[in-house]
Structure 1
Amino acid sequence: MARRFVRLLDAAPGGSWRDIGCGTGAVTRAVLDLAEPESVVGIDPSAGYVQYARRNITDARARFVLADAVNLPFADATASVAVSGLVLNFVPDAPRAAAEMTRAVRPGGLVGAYVWDFEEGGMEAIRAFWDAASALDPAARDLDEAVRFPLCGRAPLRELLVGAGLEDVEVEAIGVPTRFSGFDDYWEPFLGGQGPAPAYVASLPRERRVELRERLRSALPRAADGSIPLHARAWAARGRRTA
């Protein structure tokens, strides 16, 4: 997904990039591989992620710093491109983060971001889970990412970038197949305890967990080989700082 996003940006070679909420460095790695940058600086508020990225991306053009998306440690108009992958819906003040990304790029510079499509059901694996959970427990609806992350849609993402002062804003869909080898391959990640859906599963008594599991087992589509063919979609937006 990160590589498709970087290609979609179609940024000119060279220049200085900023990766906001870099996490493990997936977007930074894609920029290094595909965009021919002079430099990339990734920021993240998690010391663990920053340490991981430093260990695993040793390209001399890249560096990683501990910082927050709403208070970027960059001077005004010093970057060519600022990007953020699968992060802005987790930032408490997304408009401020978008404004900070815009501030950091030069006039005419590019700002881009992508988020999973929770609004229109583009995350089929998650949509199936919450549909099943809500049918058994109406209170589960409040935990659904479609409710918790209203930014994750085509129109809200576009409005965010326009509101940050960007022009020529475009939003496109990026889709990838997410085929699971079988039901266990689909279900086991929900047992990890981290994230809204796994945390919900962990909160259930054993009988309710079994009931949810079996409801999902019967609801998910199956291919002839027993695999579960699903699809994931993200919205990718880009715009330019007013020259």
Structure 2
Amino acid sequence: MTIPRADMPLPPQFVFDDPAAYELMMGRWSALVADPFLDWLALPPGLAWLDDGCGNGSFTESLLRRQRPATVVGVDPSPEQLAFARQRASTVGVRFLQGDAQALPLSDASVDAAVMALVLFFLADPQQGIRELVRVTRPGGTIAAYHWDMDGGGFPLQPIRDAAHADGYEPQKPPSAWAATLEASEDLWLQAGLLDVRTTQIEVCRDFDSFDDFWRTAQGNPRLRDFFASLAPSVLQRLKGRVREQLGVAGGGPLVLKARANAVQGRKRQVVHTHVASDAETA
């Protein structure tokens, strides 16, 4: 696995600014991964959690429902996403803060568990993002993430990407898609000095009422939305037909699609206090 050099220029930060569209598209996909991810972490209730890159609060809802945490802090760079998250009835009591995952607005060792749900590959500098997770987590605490298996074809909108590629187009990937593989995730967690590093894959299925329902949700991805807008109407219709053909959808019936996420977790080292015996103690 090749990690970009420190002297390489960083890609621009990517921010979602349409929370309703995000909920329709990626929020619902993320919620499907959240429960098996939290089961895999197997952490006790009553902890202080950080939902780093909380977006519109989709994962935050699952966290509150499943973990019964003592406290939750959600951090995201998008004010629009945070406003949506605050309006969810179940997130009352969550402390939502606007901030950058690469410079978290939290004090050192202030949470027991820090997670990123579908965030790592959007960071311009994933290594710095992980360093921040380590900084704000207490010794012995858990640091974890899940992200779509982009290189392995696990992205929920992969059928559209494949059809576009077959037509000679290449929709833009997240800026740090390289970090989303199991190998890269494990390496990044180990390089951060974390212990008991483990990885797993989580496959989920989502039902759509029809192909048009699926196609409509794709508009919630800003990069894909911009890509569609760049195409001539005839080209866009050809692309849509290619996706429909690829999925084997002839009529207007229901559709079931799969996606796959790569997950990683590790534990922050405990602080070791070394006692130096005095002359009196050794006498």
TM norm structure 1: 0.89
Q: Tell me whether 1:158 sits opposite 2:186 in the alignment.
A: yes
Would the alpha carbon gap of residues 215 and 169 (structure 1) be closer, same or farther in structure 2, given more than 3 Å must change?
same
Q: Which residue of 1 aligns with 2:68?
A: 36
Q: How far 1:16 moved relative to its partner?
A: 1.0
Q: Deviations over 1:153-211 (max 9, x none)?
A: 21112222222221111111111112333321222334x37422222111100111121
Q: Which residue of 1 aligns with 2:108?
A: 76
Secondary structure of the residue aligned to 1:150 is helix
| Native 8 Å contact 2:114 2:143 kept in 1 | yes
Q: Which residue of 1 aligns with 2:162?
A: 131
**CA separation in 1, counterparts of 2:224 and 2:53?**
22
Stretch of structure 1 that moved more, 151-160 or 218-227: 218-227
Q: Which residue of 2 aligns with 1:209?
A: 236
- Which 5+ residue runs of structure 1 have no aligned equivalent? none
Q: Which residue of 1 aligns with 2:28?
A: none
Q: Deviations over 1:31-50 (max 9, x none)?
A: 21111211111111111222
Higher Rg of the two aligned structures: 2
**Residue type of the partner of 1:195?**
P
Q: Tell me whether 1:100 sits opposite 2:121 in the alignment.
A: no
Which of the residues 231, 238, 241 maps onto 2:265?
A: 238
Q: Tell me whether 1:196 sits opposite 2:223 in the alignment.
A: yes
Q: Tell me whether 1:178 sits opposite 2:206 in the alignment.
A: yes
Would the alpha carbon gap of residues 241 and 231 (structure 1) be closer, same or farther in structure 2, given more than 3 Å must change?
same
**CA separation in 1, counterparts of 2:91 and 2:226?**
36
Q: Which residue of 1 aligns with 2:57?
A: 25
Stretch of structure 1 that moved more, 51-60 or 170-179: 51-60
Would the alpha carbon gap of residues 135 and 168 (structure 1) be closer, same or farther in structure 2, given more than 3 Å must change?
same
Percentage of identical aligned residues: 35
| Native 8 Å contact 2:34 2:59 kept in 1 | yes
Q: How far 1:222 moved relative to its partner?
A: 4.1
TM norm structure 2: 0.77
Secondary structure of the residue aligned to 1:145 is coil
Which is richer in strand? 1
Q: Tell me whether 1:63 sits opposite 2:92 in the alignment.
A: no
Q: Which residue of 2 aligns with 1:117?
A: 149
Secondary structure of the residue aligned to 2:178 is coil
**Residue type of the partner of 1:241?**
K
RMSD: 2.2
Q: Which residue of 2 aligns with 1:3?
A: 35
| Native 8 Å contact 1:221 1:228 kept in 2 | no
Stretch of structure 1 that moved more, 163-172 or 51-60: 51-60
Q: How far 1:128 moved relative to its partner?
A: 1.7
Would the alpha carbon gap of residues 34 and 58 (structure 1) be closer, same or farther in structure 2, given more than 3 Å must change?
closer
Q: Deviations over 1:28-81 (max 9, x none)?
A: 222211112111111111112222222224655421111111111222222110
Would the alpha carbon gap of residues 147 and 224 (structure 1) be closer, same or farther in structure 2, given more than 3 Å must change?
same
| Native 8 Å contact 2:85 2:91 kept in 1 | no
Secondary structure of the residue aligned to 1:177 is strand
Would the alpha carbon gap of residues 235 and 227 (structure 1) be closer, same or farther in structure 2, given more than 3 Å must change?
same
Q: How far 1:219 moved relative to its partner?
A: 1.7
Give the paired residue count. Answer: 238
| Native 8 Å contact 2:186 2:197 kept in 1 | yes
**Residue type of the partner of 2:185?**
L
| Native 8 Å contact 2:86 2:92 kept in 1 | no
| Native 8 Å contact 1:89 1:149 kept in 2 | yes
